[in-house]
Amino acid sequence: MIVGADRFAVTEATVLTIGGAKGGAGKTVTAINVASALRSAGFSVALVDADLGTTNVADVLGLEIETSIHEVLAGEADTEEAIVTTDTGLDVLSGGDSIAYLTEADPAELRTVIDALSPEYDTVIVDTGTGLSHEVLVPFGLADGVALVSTPDDTSIVDTRKTAEVVEKVDGTLLGVVVNRVTDETDLDRVREQIELPLLELLPNDPGASKIEPVVMEASDTDLAEAYRQLATTLHRQTSSDE
């Protein structure tokens, strides 16, 4: 269970970046569910979709975006103009259907976005892209902590270790790895041995619970939802300025 926000006096947001070495590992839904879990515990949370090539947080949540994060990063709109609030009070900055500002969006301007959000929220969650491009590295360096999402597959684990090395090279703070899509057949001893990094949480594979996001709100009594809540608690405790 996540400790409520009234236990803490936060003056600037904690910034958490959720990344992954490969597309399809589940980093976006992990970012959504961590943000939603913290919001349901009473924290004010902004979720920033910084996966600029394939921004899809809004699509997953079924949100209509009038002003995209691309416009903000291109200097064509202010940060507050791009915020869309969900029914549960989660504030989201994401991309829309238009690609008009895709090439003009400057990843370096993400710092300006974070600076604008920081005084207004307890936590800012950043969903970043995959690979080693500039737009991916910027959120690693800006965060108070980085969590990487991997599947139990050997290739995913190896690539996650490589990404962890990059996080450290850009002076990011790696909190650990989230292993997604864990089943009864997953060899957890092998995963722990291969990953060679702090293991933050094991997320059980539950396609049924994942049909409507966020799981922590739409399927709150499932093991997957509880795992997301535990992950949110762990990340909060590791990055809280009051610890």
Residue 242 pLDDT > 50, yes or no?
Answer: no
pTM of the model: 0.93
The beta-strand segments (E) located in the chain are: 14-20, 45-50, 84-85, 91-93, 123-128, 145-150, 174-182, 199-204
Domain-located, residue 6? no
For residue range 64-104, list pLDDT tens digits in order.
999 999 999 999 999 999 999 999 999 999 997 767 777 89
In a domain, 32, yes or no: yes
In percent, the amount of the chain with pLDDT more than 90 equals 81
Let me know if residue 86 belongs to a domain. Answer: yes
Residues 108, 66, 82: CA angle, nearest 5 degrees: 40
Averaged pLDDT of the chain: 91
CATH number at residue 109: 3.40.50.300
Domains of the chain: total: 1
* pLDDT band (50, 70, 90) for residue 2: low
User: Does any domain span residue 78?
Assistant: yes
For residue 150, tell me if it sits in a domain.
yes
Query: What residues make up the domain containing 101?
Result: 11-238
- Region 150-158: mean pLDDT is 96
Predicted local confidence at residue 222, as pLDDT: 97
